[in-house]
Homo-oligomer: A and B are copies of this chain.
């Protein structure tokens, strides 16, 4: 039957696969990654019905909870659907971009658009009322202000303004022109945890239009974001403007 045939794809994918128990990589993760790879390359095609988790566990020499954990990973990624009494089935493929904290730089880089960053200004300023509120610092406290112009394929795409607490700005101008801000912070030991973004639109100001190379009065996308670290402290507040004719936010979501 059809079911039998597509089950064979799973068996095929598992045939040459063996768990490495000396590896520091968790067993459930080894399994999950292998299955994820098999699914995304099509070796296990959409619609495939998995064998039940007990059989799979035995086949791989694992306990059922460990096998379950691998399955949960796939469910969280939206690759498979599980139903009690039915089984586990591979979902039809869609666009798979594991959109995390949206980093414009990474976005462009991953789509091969060779992003560049021009540092427009990099100063220490006194926080005005808005900045003080967003960053959770006192009015007039010194904060770091960064203004950058991001381009892709030699055409400007976004004007980005970021404010950071002074304690986090342990980098120099050259670091900012080399890559994304988030990567920079991560490499400095900041544990990013969550963010609140607001995406809106309005007409470009004259200055913005000139900077982005857009006609006067054209529509721009706006995005404000506050990012938090592990401890709940504000890491950064950003106020960005994107040329709407050249950029849009793609958001991938699971309707858990």
Contacts and interface: CB of A to CB of B under 8 A. Distances in A.
Interface residues of A, number: 62
A20 interface: no
Given A201-B219, A203-B219, A221-B200, A78 B255 contact: no
B91 A253 contact: no
Interface string A22-59: 00000000000000000000000011000000000000
Given A193-B81, A200-B249, A249-B200, A222 B101 contact: yes
Contact of A228 (B92, B130, B219, B256): B92
A219 B219 CA distance: 5
Query: Among A130, A220, A222, A227, which residue has the most Cβ atoms of chain B within 10 A?
Result: A222
A117 interface: no
Interface string A84-113: 000001011111110111100100000000
Contacts of A136: 95
21 contacts: A65-B65, A81-B230, A92-B231, A94-B194, A101-B198, A101-B222, A194-B255, A195-B255, A196-B251, A196-B252, A197-B250, A198-B248, A199-B221, A200-B247, A200-B249, A201-B221, A202-B219, A203-B203, A203-B218, A217-B217, A219-B244
